[in-house]
Amino acid sequence: MKRTLQAGFTLIELVMVIIIVALASVPILGQFARVAGSTLVDEEIQTAAQLAQERAEGILALRRAQGYAAVATGTTNDVLTGNYSTYSRSVTVTQPPAGGGCAPGATCKGVVVSVNRGLSNRAELAFVLVNY
């Protein structure tokens, strides 16, 4: 009887390869989970920055339309709705601004817009309104 030469892998060899590949993939999949979590945090920070910028532009528009006096000093908290209901936004206007920096002969108000989500501060925008 003549024997034929067979090429290929045995079942045991294939099972061993599958086990090795499965064990090697565990750390790689863990990295994907960390990247996904990091992406979510980055998205929250970007959304908070956009909400802060939106409110700051609203304050600048109020100053342009109604004048410097229309921007009242004090702290206000905005109620955000819809997709942004988990964020809180506050605006603090002080006169004179913290840290000085107002030109001689001018009156200034310091404005700080803070946007938070949960317990962590996500974005803060500060600027000075000047009235000559």
Residue 21: predicted pLDDT = 92
Task: Write down the pTM of the prediction.
Answer: 0.70
pLDDT tens-digit profile of 83-129? 999 999 999 999 877 667 788 888 899 999 999 987 766 889 999 89
4 part of a folded domain:
no
Question: What is the token pair recorded at 80?
Answer: 């955000």
1 part of a folded domain:
no
Residue 14: predicted pLDDT = 92
- Of 32, 82, 36, 91, which Cα lies nearest the Cα of 58? 91
3 part of a folded domain:
no
124 has which bridge partners?
114
Enclosing domain of residue 65 = 11-131
Cis (ω within 30 of 0) for the bond into 96? yes
pLDDT tens-digit profile of 14-31? 999 999 999 988 888 877
71 part of a folded domain:
yes
102 part of a folded domain:
yes
- Of 82, 80, 74, which Cα lies nearest the Cα of 115? 80
65 part of a folded domain:
yes
118: left (phi over 0), alpha (psi -120 to 50) or beta: left
52 part of a folded domain:
yes
How is residue 119 annotated by DSSP?
Answer: T
Structurally, the chain folds into a number of domains equal to 1
- Residue 130 sits at the vertex; the CA angle it makes with 127 and 132, to the nearest 5 degrees, is 170
Average model confidence (pLDDT) across the chain: 87
112 part of a folded domain:
yes
